[in-house]
Structure 1
Amino acid sequence: MDFEEAADALYAVPAADFIAKRNELAKQLKADGDQLGSTRLKALRKPTVAAWVANLVSRELPDDLDDLLALGEEFREATTDLDGDRLRELTPKRHQLLDKLAKAATGLSTDAGQKVSPDVAQKLRETLDAALVDPAAGDAVREGRLSSALRHVGFGVVDENGEPSNVTPISDERREAARARRKPAPAEPAADTHRAAEERAQAEREAAARAEAKQAFETAVEAAQAAEAHVEDLDQQLDDARDALSTAQQLVHQLGAQLDEARRAARDAQKESREARKRYNRL
């Protein structure tokens, strides 16, 4: 199993099982010798309910999702051409497809044991609409690894917190494929040596940048894991302190009751002592 397969498997599990599955898969990648893949997997975030449902759409309804994204292409073409008639024709189709996908997704989610609240349904619809409007958002939804629902606003795509969303995570494999597509046509023989030298220099710079970025990424992940471990430790300490406090409060209550009983017994004993003294004196 490589990182891509592990990530797909991770985002396919119920959200409640995400953390346990992530730890299991990361451990497996590490055992297989893929330390970088293990580190990358540990950095993946648990999806919100709306994001989980959107990922479900990607896995279970790929044809319908493709129809939605294709409609987005038509919208962008009509917008570029300033074709008002075409835009008016496409708008009802947009709503129909969104309704169809949202309804189907709700059914699939319910069958999987995950209820969809009105708020989640609204966020799902916003995510699907963002996929239609924005090509990068469309690619992210199709990938099926969202950790947050998306929403298209005037300046781009944001997540559920309203923060700009990086919806185009690019793997090394994708970057290499894109570079291959951009590779220019063969140069004239006289320029081959110079161009090859430039390409080697560029490749070396990019390799150095990737190595630096990888190191920074691993350092950040380690820091995050250390912080998470510290939080868990503090949580445990807090739980222990609460348990100790509860025990102490119970002990205080018991000792208070025992003290009250002892005071009553002492008063009774003093009273009995006085009565006994009086009887003795009368003899």
Structure 2
Amino acid sequence: MVAALAVLARELYGLQPEGFTAARNARAGELKPSDAALAKQVAVLRKPAPAAWVVNLLAREHPDDLTALLDLGERMRTAQEQLDRDALRRLGSERRAAVTALAQAGAARAAGLGHPPTPAVLGDVEQTLLAGTSDPAAAGAVASGLLIKPLRAGGFDPVDLHGAVAVPDAAPWVASPGSAQSLAPPDPVQLADVRRRKEARAKAERREHDADAAAAEVDALERRAHRLELRRASLEAEIAELREQLGTAEAALAAVTDDDSALTEARAQATRAADDASARARDARDAADALEKTDRHAGPPAS
């Protein structure tokens, strides 16, 4: 049943969007007399969203490029498990370029068929391709050619594929020779293993982030310590200069103090001398005045 449904679904999902609903209903009607159960499953197949339709185009018309991108995602997951940061940076750059190129190829093909994608749709195409590189089950969904809606990766959590693929149990995408593993639809045990690996990677990433943050804090503190050391040296030099200026000022003050003491003594001596001179002058004036008075009382001298 699944194989037959997958064949019919691939036929329908290879059609252009405007022809999907009519072709689906017609096919279900044809099947109903001979296989009512299969006809019912065909009748409920959902029309793909614009971005999903473009990704389905890529799965059919650019399978090699899409396989190369999904292989790249598998290598990235391996590098992440091994905490190979250099490889992750290199593969991340390759992935960005490959996603952009493949999305543009899908946009060009869709435009050629009369359905040019809007920027929003093209963004969903790119997000779906990225999701295919982040999760093994999502890789199978992207390459199935049976997508109903675009996908979006959610950090280290498995991609939500609920209602995303028309026939979830259809034949999976298989990694090209030389890649790390085949991407058959995982059973619950495999999903649990994938989840544990993702959680371990998430924990390792958090620890690395914490270590990077701590190292950045150390660098910031070291830069601050260096600035403080420079400031300390500058202030010490300024203090030394001020102390030298203080010594010079103190020496000048001592000289002024000595000069002031000498001047005070000289003023005292000069004051005493002036007082003595004034006293002698008064005495002389008094003597002169007394002599003049005596002369006046004695009268003129005899002839």
TM-score tier, shorter chain, comes to: 0.5 to 0.7
Counterpart secondary structure, 1:153: coil
The 2-side partners of 1:44 and 1:153 are apart by 26
Structure number, greater radius of gyration? 2
For residue 38 of structure 1, what is the aligned residue in structure 2? Answer: 39
Counterpart secondary structure, 1:119: helix
Counterpart secondary structure, 1:156: coil
Determine if contact 1:137/1:167 at 8 Å carries over to the other structure.
no
Determine if contact 2:9/2:166 at 8 Å carries over to the other structure.
no
Q: Give the partner amino acid of 1:13.
A: L
Determine if contact 2:131/2:152 at 8 Å carries over to the other structure.
yes
The 2-side partners of 1:27 and 1:46 are apart by 17
Determine if contact 1:157/1:165 at 8 Å carries over to the other structure.
no
CA RMSD of aligned residues (A): 2.6
For residue 51 of structure 1, what is the aligned residue in structure 2? Answer: 52
The 1-side partners of 2:76 and 2:32 are apart by 45
For residue 114 of structure 1, what is the aligned residue in structure 2? Answer: 115
Distance verdict in 2 for CA 1:24–1:145, change over 3 Å: same
The 2-side partners of 1:122 and 1:41 are apart by 30
Alpha-carbon deviations, 1:44-79, whole Å to 9, x = none? 111111111111111110000000010011001101
For residue 91 of structure 1, what is the aligned residue in structure 2? Answer: 92
Determine if contact 1:139/1:168 at 8 Å carries over to the other structure.
no
For residue 72 of structure 1, what is the aligned residue in structure 2? Answer: 73
Shift of 1:6: 1.3
For residue 9 of structure 2, what is the aligned residue in structure 1? Answer: 7
Q: Which runs of 5+ in 2 are unaligned?
A: 173-183, 188-303
Q: Which runs of 5+ in 1 are unaligned?
A: 182-283
For residue 146 of structure 1, what is the aligned residue in structure 2? Answer: 147
For residue 169 of structure 2, what is the aligned residue in structure 1? Answer: 171
For residue 63 of structure 1, what is the aligned residue in structure 2? Answer: 64
Percent sequence identity over matched residues? Answer: 37
The 2-side partners of 1:152 and 1:168 are apart by 19
Q: Give the partner amino acid of 2:80.
A: T
Determine if contact 1:49/1:120 at 8 Å carries over to the other structure.
yes
Determine if contact 1:123/1:149 at 8 Å carries over to the other structure.
yes
Which residues of 2 match residues 209-224 of structure 1 at below 5 A? none
For residue 26 of structure 2, what is the aligned residue in structure 1? Answer: 24
Alpha-carbon deviations, 1:110-148, whole Å to 9, x = none? 011101100000000000000111111110111111111
Distance verdict in 2 for CA 1:170–1:102, change over 3 Å: closer
Q: Normalising by structure 1, what TM-score? A: 0.56
Counterpart secondary structure, 2:153: strand
Counterpart secondary structure, 2:22: helix
Determine if contact 2:146/2:167 at 8 Å carries over to the other structure.
no
Alpha-carbon deviations, 1:249-281, whole Å to 9, x = none? xxxxxxxxxxxxxxxxxxxxxxxxxxxxxxxxx
The 1-side partners of 2:68 and 2:49 are apart by 25
Q: Normalising by structure 2, what TM-score? A: 0.52
Which residues of 2 match residues 217-236 of structure 1 at below 5 A? none
For residue 185 of structure 1, what is the aligned residue in structure 2? Answer: none
